[in-house]
Structures are given as structure tokens and as C-alpha cells.
Structure 1
Amino acid sequence: MDAYCDLEVDVNGEEVLMVDKKVLSSYSGSIRKMFSTLKGGKRNVKVIYHDFPGGAENFELITRFCYKNGKIDINPFNITDLNCAAYFLEMNKCVSGSQNLLEQTAKSLEDIRYWTWSELMVALKRCQDFLAVASSSGILEKCLDSIVGRVASSCETSPSPSVSSPDSSKFRASCDTRSSESLKSSFLRVTWWFEDLVKLDIRLIEMLVKSMVSRNLSHRIISKFLFHYQKSRLASAFLDEKSRMVETVVEMLFSLDLSSASYKSLFGMLRFSLQGNISKCSRNKLESMIGSHLDQATFDDFLVPSPIRACYLYDVNLVLRLVKSFLAKGVWCLPLSRLKKVVSLVDAYIAEVAPDPHLKPSKFLALIRALPDSARDSFDGIYQSVDLYLEVHSGLSEEEKTRVCCGLAYEKLSPGALSHLAQNTKFPSKSALEALNFQQCRLKNLLQPTNQPNNFTNSPIFHETERTEKKDKTHEQILLYAGNLDFSIENESTGAHLQGMQWRVLELEEICRKMQIQMTKMMKSRLSNHSNAKSVPRLCS
């Protein structure tokens, strides 16, 4: 064997090279330390590297650098490999006194601002092959800073419609075709870097996003890129890779403004997460982001199938969690329009799941109570859903039925709904009594006189007339209500209460008849006096 090739190097199992250990030791601190610890005068030594940056090809470049007395051509296409290998071999000191490789690569990096975008991307892609070393050597940070700097500059000079002011929608509506094309072109100029960065590893993407956020890049553009990245990479990834990728993207999105993320894209991620195996923490964060946008949902978004092991039809627990996230800051902090939209969606969902024979009463009641009573103007729709639920679940006990009916706000039921409930045999007797009590309270309120403005409205005749009109109207409601009452209810207390209501109807009918006669006489007298007063000439009065 040649005396000058006394060091055998196995590089990552790719190739075995024979080199002069004295030459390499003069440039590599790690090899110097290795031989300084060896005892005896062994001429031939074998070194095995398992994770040498750049592999056998890059090790050959390092040996050339050593054999040429520290001279090598450094360019954007090999600088990453050389820098990381120099850091790996501790080539920061040179025995011969010439400039070491780490210094040379650091000096070449000073010109990184003059590199083309393609050269930057080549250097950055090489970093992801040996990320730990590239991060420690500092070259990764320089490449990331340069990439993000150019992206940020392009976004500042080419504003996108997605990051414009709230009035941009009005502006776009008034633009002609040429202006629309201009906005589209502007948006493409802002997102031109999407496709290039999609090829990077998720770990690099995470670093890039953190750097973008620190540079105050638009969160809306960042979120658009993350959704684009996920969509592009999921198709070719394995199941475990998909789960890890979704978790990482969720973490990055959660660090952005909640308003920056697209609801549709978030819900698409949620559907995947329900099928995939992502962590509970990531799923909670994803549901929290979706919940904050819940007023943008459609009814179909709510119809998520239940988990495989569940027997009920739709995933009710998911909807409950989303509504809870929507209300996290409190009902009074939400604009009325947003709240009404969610109320409408939830009520439609309750009507959809009511016929499910496997839906437990506790879950059905939880859906009704997910939104506070103050959020609904009327409970007629909820009453219809409860009626349908009790019809399908006819085998429920009286106690279970009563518990379900606790979700009804009787004071927000219309007179027609209260009348229907009172004679609805599917409902427990306690609910029928509640309906009667609220109906009775309304009747009392209608019969009570109210304060009126001055002038003619203060006169006794006005008050009597108004009371008569109210009694007539109340009389009609009571007769209609009493005619629909069903006395076949088995509960004795309910029957007695209904019988009492019937007697009150008859009494009110008699009172209304007498008041009508009295009011007729009073009105005739009033009109007669008024007519006589007008007939007297003013001068003779």
C-alpha cells in the first residue's frame, strides 16, 4: 500500500477512500484529535462516517481542498455542502497557516445578496439534507433570511387583493375587466414563490414561516401558502407523514391571526384530521380556529358523519365543540348578525338530527342548550324539533321526556305553539302545565290597562274602549284555545287545571259581553254631547 495513503475512510457506506492522514490532519481538527488519542504507531487506520454532509462526493471535494493547500472554487451550488462538511470536520484552524475552509465559505456567504433566486433555492434545498449541521454552522440562517427578505420585498411592491383594506371588495366590484386582470396579475406577483417553496421539507417551512412572521409579512398570504403547501404535499405523502404535516401546519396557522385563515380550507383539514391520526392538541387548536369562523359555515359543513364506533348518525360532539369555541369570548362580544347566522345553522342541525333513533336525550338537550336562550327570538322551531324527537323516541320515560323539554323557553313560544303543546300527548304533563301557565300569564297581561299619552287618550272613554278591544281580542284567543284543549290527559291535576281554565273562559266571556253593552251606551252618550256642543254658535257660548 502506498505510504501516503495510510487513512481509510468509509463515507456513509457509499464509498471507501484512501487518503493521507497527515494532509487531512493539517486542516481538520477532528481528525487531529482522533490521531492524538491513538496509542502506538499504527500506520493504517480506518475511519467510518455514517452521516457525513454531502456524502462521498462532498468528501472528495474536501480532500482536494486539503491536497491543493486550501484552494477550491466555492459557488452557490457547493457552498452548503462545503460549509457543513467543514463544520463537521472542525476545519476552523489550519496548521499550514493558510485560510481555513470555514472562513472561506463564510466570506463567500457575504455575497449572498447578489445570488439569483435559483441559486438561493439550491443552497437552501441542500441544507435540508443535513439540517442539524447546517443550522449549527449558520449557513441555514443566512439562506432563510435572504429568501424571506426577497419574498417580503415582492409583497410590499405588489399589494395583493387579499391583503387590501375592507373597502377593496367595493373597489373590485366597480372595476372593469382590465382592472380585474390587473388585480389578478398583482396577486400572482405576490404568490410567485409558492411553487418553489412547496418542494422544501416541512421543517424548513416551519423555520421560514417563523421568519416571515417576525418580518411582519401578511398573515393572510402566509396562511394561503400553508394551505397550498399542505394540498400539494399530502397527495404523495404516506399516512404518518400526512398526520405529522397536518399537525405542523395547524401549529403554524394557530400562531397567525384567526381572521387570516380560510374557513373552507380549515374545514377541509378538519375532515382529514377526523380520518387521520393527529394529536388531540392539534385537533383542539384546529377546532378552535374553525369555531371562531363558525358563522361562515354552511349547513352541509355540520353534517359530519359520526366516528366509526359511534351508533348515531352525525358527529354531534364535534358540533357542540365548535359552538363552544364560537362562544368562547361571550355572546355579548359577538355581532348580532354573526350570532343569528350560527343560531340558524344550529337550529337547522337540531331538526336534522332529531329523527335519529340512536341520539341520546342528553346529547339532544346539549344541542338545544349549546346556545343561550337570549340568542333565539323564537323557540317555535326548537319546539317542532322536540316534538319530532319525542315522536321517534316514544319509548322514553316521563322523566327523560321532562328533561328534554327543559330545553324549551316557554316564554319565547308563540300562542299557537303553546296551544299545540298543551294538547300534545307526546309531551309530559309537566310541559303541558308550563304551557298553560305561560298562556295564562299572557292573558292577564292583555287584560291589564296600560298607561297612555295625554289629551284624548287620558279620557275614561278611551281607556274603556281600549280595555273592551283587548278583552274582545283576548276573548277570541281564549275561546280558540279552549276549543282545542284535550281533556283526555290522564294526569288528574292537569285535568283539574284545564277544567278551571274552561270556567275562566266562560266568566271572561260574560264580562266581555257586559262591557260591550256598557261601552255602547257610553259611546252614544259621548257622541250626543259632543254633537250638541258643536252646534252652539261660538258667540253665544
Structure 2
Amino acid sequence: MAVCCDLEVDVNGEETFMVDKKIIASYCGRLSKLFGKSTGSARNLKVIFNDFPGGAESFELMSRFCYNNGRTVINPSNISLLYSAAQFMEMNISVSGTHNLLEETGKSFEEMKYWTWSELLITTKKCQDLLPFPNSTGILEKCVDSLIGRITTSGEPSPCPSTSSPDSSGARLSCDTRSTESLKNSFSRATWWFEDLLFLSTNLVGMVIEPMVSKKFDHVIISRFLFHYQKSKCYTGTSDDKRKVVETVIDMLCILDWSSVSFKSLFGILRVALNCNIRKCSRTKLESMIGSQMDQATLDNLLIPSPHGMNYSYNVNLVLRFLKAFLHGGISLVSPIQLRNVASLMDLYIAEVAPDPCLKPYKFLALAMALPDSARESYDGIYRATDMYLEVHTGLSEEEKMKICCTLNYEKLSAEACLHLYQNKTFPSKSAVQALLSQQAKLKRLLKATDKTKCYTDSSSGVRETGSKGEKKETSKQIVLFARKLDLPTDNNDKIRAHLKGMQWRVTELERVCMKMQAPMTKIMNSRVSRHSSSRSLPRLCS
């Protein structure tokens, strides 16, 4: 049969084909409709395709099928191209009868379960190249389903023989031996597919990960793959490629159980994200994941340099957002241990950033007050950080200093810290007074405890009297210990009590005097430092 080339086909601007219109139209419904029932033409025709799936390669494969009387070799490397071309050109049974490309490729796809892993990868890569052409998604979904099926099946460990069988002892010994070997190779067995799937585009990663999550695949393994994927893709990619990869990985990590995601790896991806200008929604997701595990962080994790253009040393705003995410569900959802761990970490962090001369007072206050008071058993760490901050920021007014000192809970300061504060010229005088008043409250509680113990002892006898003496002795020890911290005499308990009562009276007098003071606070500071008695001077607490 003579073959004429009376049809010119421009495929996506890549290449132009000269083909026989009659042969091609006899298999392609799209061209058959276009040309109608005409059998020839006095002049050549030209057809332009701008969205032909698979481009020139796919059109050439389709043309060979037509010129070979509806026969061609279908294999994993070309099936996706042939299937997409057949759909696009409407090569179905209504046009060419039993010899239609769409039906033949469909039958080949049904045999996908018998393909090797390598053949599945080849087909998936070809399908990925077809995106975003229409009608290519269906093939891709079949390939992805097959890939996931192979991964989930191979990831299941081989069960050991039941210990309830008659040969349980021998089976158990054999099982233990195999278990030792399997533990050594468990990680490599679970992650064997990581390298093979690095070809996935950011669009395709979601199509693979989301079904794995819905099928209850191990979230730890999924998260490790995502981190491996991010590192591999970001190693050589452009800035825009890195941004897309990081955003995709964050979105996928967010649908996992956050407790299964490596905290260290989250900070690794954070460093990349800070330089990629990722979307705000992705950044918020990442910060929420990190903040939810804030109790696992270290000081080095939090010492992140400030963004470009900012004059302060560390990214304080980022840490504040971490804390906000940590407390997002409310204090009731955070265990006391987690809360204390984060508080200890924040004390270290605040002490690290406090010497920064560019750190504004309101930022320091935000850091110190980010956690509830119940998070800290002691405020000595906050006191030391506040001391460093006030030493560096000497230009603050008394009002600003008092605002900063409001972060302190004087009741939770140790006796040493209160004594240091009282002698510290950097702090406002009013703050020193509040520290002493808090110590007065502690003294009152100790004295009341000893008084109650004495009364109880006087009115009791026998075993109860012995027990009360023990309680009294224990309380006396606490008073002696407290007295030593304040440099009080400890050789005689009665002397201690007398001295403490005298100290209590002096502090009460101090409180009364402070309420009546109208002179500037600087005058009070001078009188406290000079320790000269006057009508407005602070009474000495120790003789």
C-alpha cells in the first residue's frame, strides 16, 4: 500500500511529523472527527498540538502503532507514554475496533502486580514526566499504589515461631538468634527504598506519603525518609527548589504523629528554612512542631542568630513563638516535669541573651514572663539574668528598672539571692525592700511553726510529746540553716529566736517607714549605702 505524507503535525513546538492522514485517522478518534469522512485533499493539512502528553517521543510511539496495523511492543518504559497518547487521541474501541491502543495499554497495566521493583520505578518516573498533562494522573495513581504496596509489604518483619508450640524451647532459641541479627539490620531493612524514591518531585511526594499515613505505615520511618529527601534535594538545588522542597517536607511532617519526628532533625530543617523565605503557613507549622517538643531542646538549639538586618544578637522572637506553641493547648496539657525543664532552659537562654546591649526591655520582659509562675520553683536564675541585664543597660530609668524587676517572684528567691539584691546598687531601692519583705514573710512562717510546736509539746505527753520534740527539733534546724544564710548567730536557739524577732520588728518598721517615704528613691539608696541613721534612713537589719 502506497504511503503518502499528506498531514503535517506540530507536536508542542518540539518537532514536526509528516504522516499519512488516512492511516493515523483510522486509529485516532480525535483526528477522525477533525477530518470527517473525507478520504483525501488536494493540498497538505497541518495540525498543531500544544499540549500533547509526552511530547514528540509519545507521538512517535503512537504513530508506529498506527503504521504497524495496530500492533506494538508495550513495556514499563513506554506504557505510560502510549496510554497517555491513546487517551489524548481517543484511540478507543469505537474507532479502531479490537486493535485500539487504549485497551491494550489498559490490559498491560493490569499486569503491574507482576512487575519488578525496577520496572515500577521506571514507569513511575515516566508518569512523573507527563505531569501536568491531563489524563496522566490516573496512571500515576496506579504506579504509586503499587510502589506503596511493595514498601509496606517488605517492611513487615517475619514473625518468629510461636512459643506455645511443642518445640517452643528450640524455636525460642532459634528466634532469639534471628532476632539479634534482625535488630542489627532492622534500620536498613526498613529504609531500603529511601534512595530509590529520591527522584520524586515535590508534587509527587504528597501522593506517596499521604496514602502511607492512611495505611498506618510507621511514622518514624516516614519522617526519616522525608528528612533524607530534604537533605538530598537541598544539597544541589537552587534557592527556589530548596524552598519548595522544605515547604513540602514540612507539610508532610505535619500530618504525622509529632512525637515520632526527630527533634534534632526539625532544627536541621529550620536552619534551611530560615534562609529560604518559606511560606508563613509552613513556617508556623514547623515552629508548632518544634514548640510542642520544647522540653527536649538544648541551649545550643535556641541560640539562633537574628535575621539579617536586625541589630540584636539572637532571634528572640523565634524563641517566643516556640514558647507560645509549647503552651498552645494550655498548662493543663503540659506535665509539671516538662514545664520545669522548659523553665530551666529558658533561665539559661535569658542569661545568655541578657548581656546583649541591643535587647529591648520589652523583649527581656516577654522572655522572663513567657512561662507561668508555677513553672519555676526558684527565681534565682531570673534574678541573675536581670542583674546582668541591668548592668549592661545602665541608661534605664527607675520606672523601667522596676518594670523589669516585676518579673521576679521574691517569695521564690533564696536567702542568698535576697541578700545579694539588698546590697546590689544596680537594682532599684524599692525592689530591695520587696526582697526583704519576702524574707520577713518567711521568718514569720518559721517562727509560727516553732511557736505551734512549742504549744503542742507543752500540752502533750508520752509518745505524742516525743513526736512533737522531733518536729520542734526539725523546725529548729530549718531556722538555724536560714540564720546561717543571713549571717546570724547559730550557737544558741534562743538567741536565734530573739535575733529573728528583732529582725522581724526591724523589717516591720522598715515597711512602715517606706510607706511614709516621700523623698526621691535616690536619697533612700544613699542612706542605705552609707548606713548612717537619720529620720528617713533604712533601719539596719543586723547589729
TM range (shorter): 0.7 to 0.9
Q: Which runs of 5 or more structure 1 residues have no equivalent in the other structure?
A: 160-174, 507-541
Partner of 1:76: helix, strand, or coil? coil
Which amino acid is the alignment partner of residue 225 of structure 2?
F
1:63-78 pair list within 5 angstroms: 63-78=63-78
Give secondary structure in 1 for the equivalent of 2:95: coil
SS of the aligned residue for 1:183 comes to helix
Once the two structures are superposed, residues 422-462 of structure 1 have per-residue CA deviations (whole angstroms, 9 ceiling, x without a partner) of 23221112212211221222222222222547435669x96
Matched, 1:450 2:452: yes
Between the aligned partners of 2:440 and 2:118, the Cα distance in structure 1 is: 81
- Equivalence for 2:359: 359
Contact kept, 8 Å, 2:80 with 2:139, in 1: the verdict is yes
Q: Distance in 1 between matches of 2:200 and 2:126?
A: 10
Residues 388-413 of structure 1 deviation map (CA, whole Å, 9 limit, x = unaligned): 11111111011110110110011101
Q: Find out whether 1:370 has 2:376 as its counterpart.
A: no
Q: Structure 2: how far apart are the matches of 1:94 and 1:335?
A: 68
1:438 matched to 2:438? The reply is: yes
Q: Report Cα offsets for 1:71-106 as digits up to 9, x if no partner.
A: 222122211110011112122244342332111111
Letter in 2 for 1:151: I
Whether 1:490 and 2:492 are equivalent positions in the alignment is: no
Separation in 2 of the partners of 1:235 and 1:464? 69
1:473 aligns with 2:479: no
Question: Are the counterparts in 1 of residues 29 and 95 from structure 2 also a CA contact under 8 Å?
Answer: no
SS of 2:48 mapped into structure 1: strand
Q: In structure 2, what is the Cα distance between the partners aligned to 1:305 and 1:176?
A: 50
Structure 1 residue 380 displacement after superposition: 1.0
Q: Does 1:382 align with 2:382?
A: yes
How far apart, in 1, do the equivalents of 2:441 and 2:497 lie? 12
- Give the direction of change, closer, same or farther, for the CA distance of 1:215–1:464 in structure 2 (3 Å limit): closer
Equivalents in 1 of 2:542, 2:537: separation in Å?
Answer: 10
Counterpart residue number, 2:192? 192
Distance apart, 1:371 and its partner CA: 1.3
Q: How does 1:50-449 map to 2 (within 5 A)?
A: 50-133=50-133, 136=136, 138-157=138-157, 182-448=182-448, 449=451
Q: Which 10-residue stretch deviates more, 358-367 or 469-478?
A: 469-478
Report deviation, 1:128: 0.7
Residue segments in structure 2 that go unaligned for 5+ positions in a row: 160-174, 480-491, 515-519, 529-533
**Structure 2 partner of 1:168:** none
CA RMSD of aligned residues (A): 3.3
Is this contact kept in 1: 2:87–2:135, CA < 8 A? no
Give TM-score scaled by structure 2 length.
0.81
CA shift for structure 1 position 109: 0.9
Structure 2 residue matching 1:399: 3-state secondary structure: helix
Asked if the contact 2:130/2:136 (under 8 Å) is kept, the reply is no
Give 2:60's aligned amino acid: E
> Conserved in 2, the CA contact under 8 Å of 1:340 and 1:375?
yes
Count how many residue pairs are aligned between Structure 1 and Structure 2: 485
Deviations 1:487-514 (A, max 9, x none): 9973459968985754x878xxxxxxxx
DSSP-derived class of the 1:193 partner: coil
Query: Structure 1 stretches (4+) deviating beyond 6 angstroms?
Result: 175-179, 461-470, 478-483, 493-498
| 8 Å Cα contact 1:410/1:435 also seen in 2 | yes
Does the aligned pair in 2 maintain the 1:127–1:140 contact within 8 Å? yes
- More displaced stretch, 92-101 vs 141-150: 92-101
CA distance in 2, matches of 1:63, 1:120: 25
Contact 2:524 2:538 in 1 (8 A): no
| 488-497 vs 71-80, greater mean Cα deviation | 488-497
Q: Percent identity?
A: 54
Report the 3-state secondary structure (helix = DSSP H, G, I; strand = E; otherwise coil) of the residue aligned with 2:378.
coil
8 Å CA contact 2:92–2:100 kept in 1: the answer is yes
Q: Which amino acid aligns with 1:293?
A: Q
Relative to structure 2, which stretch is displaced further, 425-434 or 372-381? 425-434
Distance 1:42 1:249, change over 3 A: farther
Q: In the alignment, which residue of structure 2 is the partner of 1:49?
A: 49
1:46-86 Cα distance to aligned partner (Å, 9 max, x none): 12223423332322221121123322221222111100111
Distance 1:414 1:98, change over 3 A: same
Partners of 1:43 and 1:138 in 2: how far apart?
Answer: 39
In the alignment, the residues of structure 1 paired with residue 397 and residue 181 of structure 2 have an alpha-carbon distance, to the nearest angstrom, of: 65
Question: How has the CA–CA distance of structure 1 residues 137 and 390 changed in structure 2, closer, same or farther, with 3 Å as cutoff?
Answer: closer
Cα distance in 2, alignment partners of residues 187 and 370 from structure 1: 40
SS of structure 2 residue aligned to 1:235? helix
C-alpha distance 420-475 of structure 1, shift in aligned 2 (>3 A):
farther
- 2: CA distance, partners of 1:257 / 1:137: 28
Structure 2: distance between partners of 1:41 and 1:433: 106
8 Å CA contact 1:87–1:133 kept in 2: the answer is no
- Report SS of the residue matched to 1:490: helix
**Aligned pair in 2 of structure 1 residues 137, 267: CA closer, same or farther (>3 Å)?**
closer
Structure 1 residue 384: Cα displacement: 1.1
1:367-389 deviation digits (Å, cap 9, x = unpaired): 11111111111111111111111
Check whether the contact 2:405–2:431 (CA below 8 A) recurs between aligned residues: yes
Aligned-partner Cα distance in 2 for 1:260–1:332:
22
The question of whether the paired residues in 2 share the 8 Å contact of 1:80 and 1:134 is answered with no
**Distance in 2 (alpha carbons) for counterparts of 1:218 and 1:179:** 19
